[in-house]
Structure 1
Amino acid sequence: MNDVRGRLIQRMSELNLKQTDIIRALGLSKGTVSKWVSGINVPSASVLPDLAKLLNTTPDWLINGVENNIQSADFKKIEPWDENTPLDEDEVEIPFFKDFSFACGIGSINEQISKEKRKLRMSKATLRNLSISKDNAVAATASGDSMSPTIQDGDTIHIDLGRKEIKDGRIFVICIGGLHYAKRLYNMPFGGVRIVSDNAIEYPEIILTAEERVEQDFQIFGWIWQIARIEKW
């Protein structure tokens, strides 16, 4: 049971999800999810598939720690596709940017989104479960190591442009003085903000007062709700 708890907490941390996110997405009670996180109970068979989907993993991994059970009926044969392949009923296309630097002072976000030709396919159910509008969903390639090991150079980050309200500890795409970053944000008294890198040794935290936020043109562009990584051999 503790192993299930550990894997659940691991995926929640990797995706920056809190208990309230799971409660809202799956329509569960606070007590149910709290017992999972505390290790008192494990997810029931009826809710396990939806929970695994929300956490971008499989039921086998959550319960048994099995990475990829190719014998599982949950897996389907993957067919090759290109830009001409029709979308499935549960798919939408979202803009995919080489990076997010366009957002800092070079035209409006909507203008740049309309011009972007590269796309990623995304499940409607995933966006729906997280209450993310398709129009607010974009993806970009991360660069640098300031958020390592959470976000590594070359990872794909998925951003919800509709969520700009600071929730302490969440990772956001921000812009300061015309430069863009992915950082954890924390509210400070009197409108200030604390900006934290996971690689804190090389990138010390920054604190801006309300006045400094204005002076340095501090902007929040959206919440990073998913981080995707492809391992290289």
Structure 2
Amino acid sequence: MQQDTQNDAALAIGQRLAEIRNGKSQGAFAEELGIHKNSLGHYERGNRVPDAAVLLKLVEMGVSANWVLTGEGTKDAKGSREALTQDIEKLRKLDEEFALIPGYNVQVAAGHGSLAGDESPTRELAFRRKWLRYRGLHEQDLALVFAKGDSMEPTISDNETVMVDTSERKLRDGHIYVIRNGDHLLVKRIQTLWNDGVQLLSDNKEYPPQEISSTDLESLEVIGRVVWVGKDL
């Protein structure tokens, strides 16, 4: 029920954005907002919600951010110039403090192989930029996906969100990676071998290691290293 409510809210925001666009092409309006046309399409279809930078642009255009997000009040940003300046500053600070990392409706198999789903962003999660800098992470390299299965228990549980750093594609001993093998995405811990091959290890010891020879490594695509796991307590 909560997910349905969130989807309805995102769709309503998208409809209000289309109303603001008022017949202008998506490409032209997206350029005014400083975003890609595909991003605007996601917003208008309710797949994603606009981030603080987009809301800031709308406010600068004279559109009420509150109306865009809630539908309440008037579409035009009315009030004193001082109040408008304060709204812009709040949005700017929000954008400076948080980065929105794209999430994909993709399952990576922590168990047996799982087919990848739609590889277009379907959601976003906010992370403090300070935390990302502390970890040495760059937001443009990060993506969120779902784990499926129990072979990486207790480190990664079924249906948990994992963050992948797609700039980390060199396999390093002891780290966890998302790897594509044909149509399947796997999440496994890596152990390098003396013969230049690797073992794909499961943290759940009920699953045996999978040895990959140096020759077979060429057929694998390393998507990136797992750098964060979302845990429900």
Secondary structure, in 3 states, of the residue corresponding to 1:89? helix
Whether 1:212 and 2:219 are equivalent positions in the alignment is no
For 1:220, give the aligned amino acid.
V
Q: Distance in 2 between matches of 1:95 and 1:143?
A: 19
Q: Is the 8 A contact 1:99 1:143 kept in 2?
A: no
Report the counterpart of residue 51 of structure 2 in structure 1: none
* TM-aligned CA distance change 1:105 to 1:199, over 3 Å: closer
Q: Distance in 2 between matches of 1:158 and 1:84?
A: 27
Which digits, 9 at most, give the CA deviation of each residue in 1:173-198, with x for residues without a partner? 11223211110012123431111001
Q: Give the greater-gyration-radius structure (CA).
A: 2
Q: Distance in 1 between matches of 2:209 and 2:69?
A: 45
Q: Distance in 2 between matches of 1:200 and 1:123?
A: 35
How much has 1:207 moved relative to structure 2? Answer: 0.8
**Aligned positions of 1:53-202 closer than 5 A:** 84=69, 86=91, 87-100=94-107, 112=119, 115-201=120-206
How much has 1:122 moved relative to structure 2? Answer: 1.2
Q: Is the 8 A contact 1:94 1:122 kept in 2?
A: yes
Q: Distance in 2 between matches of 1:159 and 1:167?
A: 15
Q: Distance in 2 between matches of 1:184 and 1:230?
A: 22
Please give the TM-score of this superposition, normalised by the length of structure 1.
0.53
Please give the TM-score of this superposition, normalised by the length of structure 2.
0.53
Higher normalized strand content (fraction of residues)? 2
How much has 1:117 moved relative to structure 2? Answer: 3.5
Report the counterpart of residue 75 of structure 1 in structure 2: none
How much has 1:98 moved relative to structure 2? Answer: 2.6
How much has 1:226 moved relative to structure 2? Answer: 0.9
How much has 1:132 moved relative to structure 2? Answer: 1.4
Q: Is the 8 A contact 1:132 1:162 kept in 2?
A: no
- Superposition RMSD on alpha carbons, in Å? 2.7
How much has 1:88 moved relative to structure 2? Answer: 4.2
How much has 1:152 moved relative to structure 2? Answer: 0.4
Q: Is the 8 A contact 1:159 1:224 kept in 2?
A: yes
Q: Which has the higher contact order (CA 8 A, sep 6+)?
A: 1
Structure 1 runs (4+) deviating above 3 angstroms are: 83-88
* TM-aligned CA distance change 1:167 to 1:150, over 3 Å: same
Secondary structure, in 3 states, of the residue corresponding to 2:96? coil
Which digits, 9 at most, give the CA deviation of each residue in 1:50-108, with x for residues without a partner? xxxxxxxxxxxxxxxxxxxxxxxxxxxxxxxxx9495442101111123246xx998xx
Match among 222, 225, 229 for residue 224 of structure 2:
222
Which digits, 9 at most, give the CA deviation of each residue in 1:197-218, with x for residues without a partner? 01121x210111111223xx21
Q: Is the 8 A contact 2:107 2:148 kept in 1?
A: no
Q: Distance in 2 between matches of 1:122 and 1:175?
A: 26
Q: Is the 8 A contact 2:115 2:185 kept in 1?
A: no
Secondary structure, in 3 states, of the residue corresponding to 1:148? coil
Gapped regions of structure 1 (runs ≥ 5): 1-82
Gapped regions of structure 2 (runs ≥ 5): 1-67, 71-90, 109-113
Which digits, 9 at most, give the CA deviation of each residue in 1:137-169, with x for residues without a partner? 111121110101111012111111111122211
Q: Distance in 1 between matches of 2:139 and 2:212?
A: 32
Higher normalized helix content (fraction of residues)? 2
